[in-house]
Amino acid sequence: MDKIIIRGGRKLRGSVAISGSKNAALPIMAASLLGDTPAYITNVPCVTDIRTMADILAALGAKVDFPSPHEVVIDPSGLCNPTAPYELVRKMRASICVLGPLLGAIGRARISLPGGCAIGARPIDLHIKGMKQLGAATRLSHGFVVADGTGMRGAEVFLGGRFGSSVLATANVLMAAVKARGVTRIEGAACEPEIVDLTHFLCAMGARIDGIGSHTLRVEGVRKLRGARHKLIPDRIEAGTYMIAAAITKSELLLKGARADHLRAVIEKIEEAGVGIFESSGAIRVNGKGKRRVVDVTTHPYPGFPTDLQAQMIALMTISPGISVITEKVFAERFMHVPELNRMAASIFLEGSSAIIRGVKSLSGAPVMASDLRASAALILAGLVARGETVVDRVYHIDRGYENIEEKLRGLGAEIERVR
């Protein structure tokens, strides 16, 4: 099992290229099953979740090729198997997004209940509810979601949940609806940039979707879809992570390819913390050399502050003078990184769904263990400024969503290496 070793105290400088969005790529790859010709997707991040999705699509009968590390061609003509197996689906929760395309393409699906990061309960009840409202017959059997979509037709679907709109449920229902007879109206739809990117891909395939970017989507079902060419949007969570890397190390970085319009809530909070953010065409420049200030943050679905940057923001607040409160409103149990940061001499207390952080003068390098994808990033950020050596174990989590993070950071001047 790999480990990442960081020797803290180095300033960062230079530019870093932001990879394509992993969270956009996964449902778009699944949506390619709906076409009758190959789909060609570019700007694909080289992360393990992409390979897992490719393996799932291949298990279903599609042909998946990678002409280069950042391109994928998916030919759905061989699609015949409705079963997404447990040994693949258990690796990531986003595997559930093949449910809608399978029902739209071949009218049936049998998908193992998904796995993924250990960040608390993430039920799929909204996915099941949406499919039932479209007329699919669904049941749970021996750990599998079994669905028959031969009678699906357009319907009124409401996807508002306890913690707001669900991105994956929106993607699933949308992908099922594009080939359902009649008109579907999805209320309470997620409006994240990744959902907008999916709708653009589906429209390029021949789907008819109105209300793109809003909480209400109107979908007019079509009989056939074709493969399409599509370039993925940049990964806003990776961009936000490198923004915080510049802030925590008091460095200046240029984030090439980052889109500020996808990061308004993040930029606002990072600027409030004393960091300069400057937008330019196709890039964001971050000047972290100013005086730190504490900020209070509450995570919300888009366009609010993203839950996927909560851990990284806590890392920044650990060395910001004063007391800050970060409240998690999307995944209430997503604080497994807190004990590990406290091992590095942070001062963080949990109270319900909030982390109360008392800033310290410095962190101390320590052996720590990553519990999930974004916790891994937070521990690496903390290691960049900690005194001495930090060893992050279980870094297979970070490989799920960050492309070559140690190479990118080393290119910026960090003293970081991966060991086996």
Q: What is the pLDDT of residues 333-390, one digit of tens each?
A: 789 999 999 999 999 999 999 999 999 999 999 999 998 999 999 999 999 999 999 9
Of 39, 59, 384, the closest CA to residue 241 belongs to 384
pLDDT band at 165 (very low <50, low <70, confident <90, very high): confident
DSSP 211: S
pLDDT digits (tens, 9 = 90+) for 197-206: 999 999 999 9
Distance from the Cα of residue 65 to its chain's centroid? 23
Q: Is the pLDDT of residue 116 over 70?
A: no
pLDDT digits (tens, 9 = 90+) for 284-315: 999 999 999 999 999 999 999 999 999 999 99
Q: Which of 111-125, 148-162, 314-328 has the lowest mean pLDDT?
A: 111-125
Q: What is the CATH code of the structural domain delimited by 3-19+234-419?
A: 3.65.10.10
Among 80, 97, 117, 191, the active-site one is: 117
Q: What is the pLDDT of residue 217?
A: 98
Q: Which residue has the tokens 């920044």?
A: 316
How does the average pLDDT of the chain come out, rounded? 95
Identity at 158, one-letter amino acid code: F
Q: Which residue has the tokens 């079994």?
A: 146
Q: What is the pLDDT of residue 368?
A: 97
Of 46, 104, 44, 39, the closest CA to residue 76 belongs to 39
Backbone angles phi, psi at 402, to 5 degrees: -120, 125
Q: Could you tell me the pTM of the whole model? A: 0.96
Q: What is the pLDDT of residue 120?
A: 44
Same fold, 3-19+234-419 and 22-231: yes
Q: What is the pLDDT of residue 162?
A: 72
Q: Which CATH architecture has domain 22-231?
A: Alpha-beta prism (3.65)
Q: What is the pLDDT of residue 320?
A: 97
pLDDT band at 115 (very low <50, low <70, confident <90, very high): low
The domain segmentation of the chain, as residue ranges, is 3-19+234-419, 22-231
Q: Is the pLDDT of residue 163 over 90?
A: no
Answer for the pair 148, 191: CB distance below 8 angstroms, yes or no.
no
Q: Of all residues in the chain, what percent carry a pLDDT higher than 70?
A: 97
Radius of gyration of the CA atoms of the chain, in A: 21
Active site residue 80: no
Q: Concatenated DSSP letters for 346-373?
A: --EEEETTEEEEE--S--B--EEE--SH
Q: What is the pLDDT of residue 345?
A: 98
Q: What is the pLDDT of residue 211?
A: 98
**For residues 215-223, average pLDDT:** 97
